[in-house]
């Protein structure tokens, strides 16, 4: 059997184990009353989204796909970084060495000994996180893979996929979204700010406790926003979790303020920064006019969408219930996984069944993506047909095998 086939069998188990460790049987088990979350609008008024890159992707999942101007970067099941466009869909290794045959772990496209399945594209460069002596570091690479530079230390890491990055201006923000959830030991969770210009490092936020995590780090205007969740076991031994609320770090004022203390799972702004969408566990999606401070429930939580992640491309809002289905897989099952597409006023325009999805990663303004079970099963839906399309199509016609494992033992 090919070594990468064995590896493929192991990797989903690693992810599922990580998800289950981070398991937090949220809402269906602790529904909230239908009341709009109390929002401190002073912390989000006047947000200027000009020249701020969109936060399309699911911030609580692995980042195997990164959108560039004309195509996408993708980390294969063999941990090889490749580039493809949606016309030819041919996976091209990101390696600039002319003598390289791209079939061994010596290839520059191989991202072994890194934070698993995390690649980012920002302002013309790629970023990933090699691990050295138990520390995840930030490495910048040009789009061809020919130039690489270590910028600095991020966070302690031991072969994890839960350290993620958010970018805003000249800084990157690193956080661990789940390594310590479900753990009885007390940890201090941090958000690290690292300069993309000179590598200077600052801790902008930290919180200490048992079974807590920072989630949903996104940049809007000069605000780096995030949630904090905590989990605990009830008398029946069921792990439950609740958000401590929504927070914002101001790059200009260098401080953190709490925007809401409610059980907010995820959030997003519209393109002009005057409308705020947030999903309250057990309640649903709220739309809030920041200027008038008026809020309205637009999508009501139900049996299958008690908890949802949120994204938007400026034309539509996208919800997915992946996390909820994983937490309650014995109750509602993976066959209930789906994307819900809403217009910007919160009206449902389509529901896209995704029963085979392992990772529901949203997408960009062009395509919606998910990763199915199976080797390199990256799937897509063209957003030109987002109001009617329900059938997923494969990006690659076959698994992207590059490494000859017989000679790489």
46-58 pLDDT tens trace: 888 877 777 888 8
The answer to whether residues 381 and 393 touch, using CB atoms and an 8 Å cutoff, is yes
H or E stretch covering 298: strand 294-300
What does the pLDDT read at residue 403?
76
* Residue carrying structure tokens 């310590």: 180
Q: Would you state the structure tokens that stand for residue 22, as one six-digit string?
A: 């981070």
Retrieve residue 45's tokens. Answer: 């008024």
Three-state DSSP state, 281: coil
pLDDT bucket at 13, cuts 50 / 70 / 90: very low
pLDDT(162) > 90? no
**118 SS3 class:** strand
Most confident of 22-31, 218-227, 330-339, 370-379: 218-227
Whether the pLDDT of residue 9 is over 70: the answer is no
**How confident is residue 35, by pLDDT bands cut at 50, 70 and 90?**
low
Asked if residue 73 lies in contact with residue 62, where contact means CB atoms within 8 angstroms, the answer is no
Distance CA 52, CA 172 (A): 13
Longest dimension (CA), the chain: 65
Is the predicted pLDDT of residue 143 greater than 70, yes or no? yes
Distance CA 356, CA 353 (A): 9
Average pLDDT over residues 303-322: 92
Segment 227-234 mean pLDDT: 82
More confident residue, 259 or 331: 259
Using DSSP, state whether 11 is helix, strand or coil: helix
Which CATH number do you get for residue 330?
Answer: 2.130.10.10
Give the pLDDT score at 21. 41
Question: Can you read off the two tokens belonging to residue 392?
Answer: 């997923």
- The residue whose two tokens read 């947000």 is 47
Tokens encoding 289: 């006019």
pLDDT average, residue stretch 205-217: 93
> Which residue range is the domain that position 190 belongs to?
3-407
- Return the percentage of the chain with pLDDT > 70, whole number: 85
* Cα 320 to Cα 328: distance, rounded to the nearest angstrom: 14
Q: DSSP letters along 135-147, please? A: EEEEEEEETTS--
- Return the H-helix or E-strand segment holding 156: strand 148-156
Q: CB-based burial of residue 69 (10 Å sphere; 0-12 exposed, 13-18 middle, 19+ buried)?
A: exposed
What's the number of domains the chain is made of? 1
Instruction: Tell me the HSE value of 69 on the side-chain side, using a 13 A CA sphere.
Output: 4
Give the SS3 label for residue 262: coil
For the segment 195-199, the average pLDDT, to the nearest whole number, is 97
Mean pLDDT score of the chain: 86
CA dist 90 → 105, 213, 258, 370 (Å): 20, 38, 46, 18
Q: Which of 304-308, 368-372, 384-388, 393-397 has the lowest mean pLDDT?
A: 304-308
Instruction: Flag whether pLDDT at 392 surpasses 50.
Output: yes
Instruction: Give the distance, in angstroms, between the CA of residue 355 and the centroid of all CA atoms in the same chain.
Output: 19
CB–CB of 322/341 below 8 Å?
A: no
Is the model's pLDDT at 72 over the cut of 90?
Answer: yes
């Amino acid at each position: 059997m090919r070594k990468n086939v064995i590896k493929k069998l192991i990797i989903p188990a690693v992810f599922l184990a990580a998800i289950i460790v981070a398991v937090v049987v949220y809402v269906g088990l602790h529904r909230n009353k239908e009341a709009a979350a109390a929002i401190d609008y002073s912390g989000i008024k006047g947000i200027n989204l000009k020249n701020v890159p969109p936060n399309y992707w699911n911030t609580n999942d692995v980042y195997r796909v990164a959108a560039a101007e004309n195509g996408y970067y993708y980390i294969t099941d063999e941990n090889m970084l490749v580039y493809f466009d949606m016309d030819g869909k041919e996976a091209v290794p990101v390696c600039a060495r002319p003598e390289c045959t791209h079939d061994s772990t010596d290839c520059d496209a191989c991202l072994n000994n890194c934070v698993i399945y995390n690649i980012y594209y920002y302002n013309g460069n790629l970023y990933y996180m090699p691990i050295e002596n138990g520390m995840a570091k930030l490495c910048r690479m040009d789009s061809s893979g020919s130039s690489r530079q270590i910028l600095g230390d991020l966070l302690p890491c031991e072969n994890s996929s839960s350290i993620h990055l958010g970018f805003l201006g000249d800084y990157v923000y690193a956080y661990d979204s789940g390594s310590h959830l479900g753990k009885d030991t007390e940890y201090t969770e941090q958000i690290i700010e690292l300069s993309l210009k000179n590598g200077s490092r600052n801790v902008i936020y930290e919180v200490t406790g048992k079974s807590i995590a920072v989630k949903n780090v996104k940049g809007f205007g000069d605000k780096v926003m995030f949630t904090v969740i905590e989990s605990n076991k009830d008398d029946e031994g069921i792990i439950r979790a609740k958000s401590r609320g929504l927070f914002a770090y101001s790059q200009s004022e260098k401080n953190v303020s709490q925007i809401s203390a409610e059980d907010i799972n995820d959030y997003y702004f519209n393109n002009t920064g005057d409308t705020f969408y947030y999903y309250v566990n057990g309640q649903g999606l709220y739309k809030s006019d920041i200027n008038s401070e008026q809020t309205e429930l637009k999508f009501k939580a139900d049996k299958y969408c008690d908890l949802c992640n949120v994204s938007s491309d400026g034309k539509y809002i996208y919800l997915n219930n992946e996390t909820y289905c994983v937490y309650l897989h014995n109750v509602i099952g993976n066959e209930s996984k789906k994307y819900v597409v809403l217009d910007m006023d919160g009206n449902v325009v389509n529901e896209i069944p995704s029963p085979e999805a392992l990772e529901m990663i949203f997408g960009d303004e062009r395509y919606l993506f998910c990763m199915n079970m199976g080797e390199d099963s990256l799937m897509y839906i063209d957003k030109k047909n987002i109001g009617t399309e329900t059938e997923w199509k494969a990006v690659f016609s076959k698994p992207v095998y590059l490494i000859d494992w017989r000679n790489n033992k």
